[in-house]
Amino acid sequence: MTAKQSYVVAAEAWQALESSIIYYRGRPIGTLAACDYSSPSLNYDQCFVRDFVPAALIFLIRGRTEIVQNFLLETLRLQIKEKQLDFLEPGRGLMPASFKVLHQGDEEFLKADFGDHAIGRVTPVDSCLWWMFVLRAYVSATGESSFAHSPEMQKGIRLIIELCLSARFDMYPTLLVPDGACMIDRRMGINGHPLEIQALFHTTLRCAKELLLDNQENIKIIQAINNRIPPLTSHIRHNYWLDPEKLNVIYRYGSEEYGEDALNQFNIYSESIPYAELSEWFPEEGGYLAGNLGPSHLDCRFFALGNMMAILSSLVMRQQGQIIMHTIEQKWTDLIGWMPMKICFPALKNRDWEILTGCDPKNRPWSYHNGGNWPVLLCFFVAAAVKMDRSDLARQAIAIAAKRLHKDEWAEYYDGKNGRLVGKEARKFQNWTISSFLLAQELIDQPKYIDWISHD
């Protein structure tokens, strides 16, 4: 693509993004998930908290801070503030998956979906975690610490941290969540302790630590955050890490070990690990974070967003981050293919697909969440690659996306093992596809923006 062509594409993308802005009582507060009027809208006519993240960042970069501020304030108003003892309301601290503006006479109000309307009634655990991420980016971009220091914002932050750190059943440093609690918002065998939520949880703790005022009211919460970050970090770095060497250790694991000295603490049965496929697949010096870990359960699938967020928040060590990038480079066809990048690899097939997705036809092998390619992941890949000094990989990925996204009218996702087909039910003019593409270009041109979304 020539410089002029890419300028035209970027200008069109920006215009499409602008035309998707949602107004509430005259103020811009977010963007529609998609502006595809040829497909049934389902809930794509709503503003999703997670979908707005790349848009928020691009708006911040371009000085359009008002929309991000309004988004943060309005979603904070929707957050559940009262403690619940019955099941009729979502838990305190939770934020909705999405919301839309409804009209009643001359009045406008916001209707939020906490998963109570969503397909499969999935819980949006990630929303409040993404909210904190956007708040921290907003403060970094504008320098307005006072915005985050207002009593309402401080309370919102505390409620999120309380929700994450409060009473629970298990003793892991990670968060226990139901299936479909994040970007993959349908049944995909990611209940328990999925990587994406753990990486976002870690980011949230680090952002909250920066944003909370050091005062009497916050003292206990700050202490709790400080107590949680080290065990969470070391648990993920050690127990989620997979590389050829670790694979060999797992392969030779004993089982049924009791007590503190157990090597195989989670009682993983090596027969449950696809070690034959993995030992062939792993490049030399390769490695990445596994998708999930629980009792006798190690999900060895590669999940892109969790791995990229772990690099950005420094949940992994720098060397591990570099190894992840090296793995992507060596396994480019599998993990990037014709559209950056694969949401998870490999796809669930046959009996696994039947059992873990409940025979979901949208999530059949190499489609949608089950091994589809999602252009929204481009910006996270680019940010992580640049942070790991692999701008070369970031540029290659952007070039691949640039060739197709505009032509394919900003498709939501791609299908096929190599991600070559526009997704069977993919929406067009999907806004996080558009904003991710714009953001990826800004991040490669001006890496200083990565500081807004990354931690050392």
Chain residues that interact with ligand GLC, rule: CB under 6 A: 33, 48, 50-51, 183, 185
Rounded to the nearest whole angstrom, what is the least distance from the CB of residue 303 to ligand GLC in the complex? 13
Q: How many CA atoms lie within 13 A of 179 on its CB side?
A: 12
User: Residue 189 corresponds to which amino acid?
Assistant: G
Rounded to the nearest whole angstrom, what is the least distance from the CB of residue 36 to ligand GLC in the complex? 11
Rounded to the nearest whole angstrom, what is the least distance from the CB of residue 71 to ligand GLC in the complex? 15
Token readout for 178 is: 């139901």
Judged by beta carbon, residue 208 or residue 412, the one nearer ligand GLC is 412
Judged by beta carbon, residue 33 or residue 453, the one nearer ligand GLC is 33
Rounded to the nearest whole angstrom, what is the least distance from the CB of residue 44 to ligand GLC in the complex? 6
Residues facing 67 on adjacent strands: none
- Rounded to whole angstroms, how far apart are CA atoms 405 and 170? 43
**Locate tokens 């207002």: which residue?**
150
Between the alpha carbon of residue 18 and those of residues 55, 64, 245, 380, the distances in Å are: 10, 11, 49, 22
Judged by beta carbon, residue 50 or residue 206, the one nearer ligand GLC is 50
Q: Are 371 and 344 in contact (CB under 8 A)?
A: yes
Rounded to the nearest whole angstrom, what is the least distance from the CB of residue 333 to ligand GLC in the complex? 24
**Locate tokens 């629980």: which residue?**
294
Strand residue runs (E) in 234-353:
241-242, 288-294, 297-303, 344-345
* Range 155-158 contact pairs with CB under 8 angstroms and sequence separation of 24 or more: 155/81, 156/76, 156/79, 156/131, 157/132, 157/208, 157/211, 157/212, 158/212, 158/217, 158/218, 158/221
Rounded to the nearest whole angstrom, what is the least distance from the CB of residue 255 to ligand GLC in the complex? 36
Rounded to the nearest whole angstrom, what is the least distance from the CB of residue 51 to ligand GLC in the complex? 5
Judged by beta carbon, residue 48 or residue 410, the one nearer ligand GLC is 48
Rounded to the nearest whole angstrom, what is the least distance from the CB of residue 203 to ligand GLC in the complex? 17
Q: Are 335 and 346 in contact (CB under 8 A)?
A: no
Judged by beta carbon, residue 172 or residue 374, the one nearer ligand GLC is 374
Rounded to the nearest whole angstrom, what is the least distance from the CB of residue 3 to ligand GLC in the complex? 31
Q: Are 324 and 288 in contact (CB under 8 A)?
A: yes
DSSP state of 370: B
Judged by beta carbon, residue 31 or residue 327, the one nearer ligand GLC is 31
Judged by beta carbon, residue 51 or residue 334, the one nearer ligand GLC is 51
Judged by beta carbon, residue 240 or residue 368, the one nearer ligand GLC is 368
Helix, strand or coil, per DSSP, at residue 30 = strand
- Rounded to whole angstroms, how far apart are CA atoms 135 and 60? 11
- Rounded to whole angstroms, how far apart are CA atoms 46 and 67? 16
Provide the phi-psi class of 410: left if phi over 0, else alpha when psi is between -120 and 50, else beta: left
Judged by beta carbon, residue 41 or residue 396, the one nearer ligand GLC is 41
Rounded to the nearest whole angstrom, what is the least distance from the CB of residue 48 to ligand GLC in the complex? 4
CA nearest to 22, candidates 72, 73, 69, 67: 67
Judged by beta carbon, residue 48 or residue 138, the one nearer ligand GLC is 48
